[in-house]
């Protein structure tokens, strides 16, 4: 039966036939145990030189796979994530139309890959008096690489998804913000595709 449910200050409609699927775990206790493991084991692990060499090498490998797939990246890659330069990857989408969001959305649509835009959605602003928008210095997409979670096979899959997007990237459109909170808009703003993407004439 369709019914409204309260989620914080928002009210949403639910189509669930049961009220609760599982009991909520004790999240504070989980965090405490995780932190204790970090103190007992994790800190030693992340400072091990052999591990660090493997880790940096794995991130570099992922970066090379993305470059081979046709995506420009920020270099050097470092040790925790690879950043795709969405502004260069999608030069037909101007910064005002959020190329980083366009790529982030397409990654999820095409391959179920979750990424985050680090660009004008996150760092751009809208003047409340004039309504004029400012853009970020760069339009990036971060592909985070959490420790002890993914193998190189996972990263090869993501590179294949990027290669597929690259083959048809000219068809991607920009996005516009249709609703945004006063602060931290990149967490909860609403987006809509721009029907016509203006070709950028900049460098």
Span 152-185, pLDDT tens digits: 999 999 999 999 999 999 999 999 999 888 888 8
Does residue 12 lie in a domain region? no
Does residue 202 lie in a domain region? no
CB 130 within 8 A of CB 93: no
Does residue 14 lie in a domain region? no
Domain count, the chain: 1
Does residue 157 lie in a domain region? yes
Does residue 5 lie in a domain region? no
Residue 135: give its domain's CATH number: 3.90.1150.10
Span 94-121, pLDDT tens digits: 999 999 999 999 999 999 999 999 999 9
Does residue 10 lie in a domain region? no
Structural domain boundaries, residue 129: 25-193
DSSP letter, residue 111: H
Enumerate the H helices of 49-111 as residue ranges.
Answer: 49-68, 86-89, 99-111
């Amino acid at each position: 039966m369709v019914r409204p449910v309260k989620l914080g200050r928002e009210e949403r409609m639910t189509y669930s036939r049961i009220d609760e699927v599982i009991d909520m775990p004790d999240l504070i206790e989980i965090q405490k145990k995780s932190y204790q493991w970090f103190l007992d084991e994790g800190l030693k692990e992340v400072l091990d030189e052999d591990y660090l060499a493997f880790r940096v090498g794995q991130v570099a490998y992922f970066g090379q796979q993305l470059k081979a797939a046709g995506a420009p990246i920020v270099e050097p890659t470092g040790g925790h994530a690879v950043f795709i330069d969405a502004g260069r990857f999608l030069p037909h989408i101007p910064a005002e139309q959020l190329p980083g969001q366009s790529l982030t959305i397409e990654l999820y649509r095409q391959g179920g890959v979750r990424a985050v835009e680090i660009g004008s959605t996150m760092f751009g602003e809208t003047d409340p008096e004039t309504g004029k928008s400012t853009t970020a210095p760069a339009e990036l997409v971060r592909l985070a690489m959490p420790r002890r979670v993914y193998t190189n096979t996972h990263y090869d899959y993501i590179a294949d998804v990027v290669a597929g997007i690259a083959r048809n990237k000219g068809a991607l459109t920009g996005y516009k913000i249709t609703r945004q909170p006063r602060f931290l808009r990149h967490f909860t703003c609403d987006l809509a595709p721009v029907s016509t993407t203006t070709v950028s004439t900049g460098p």
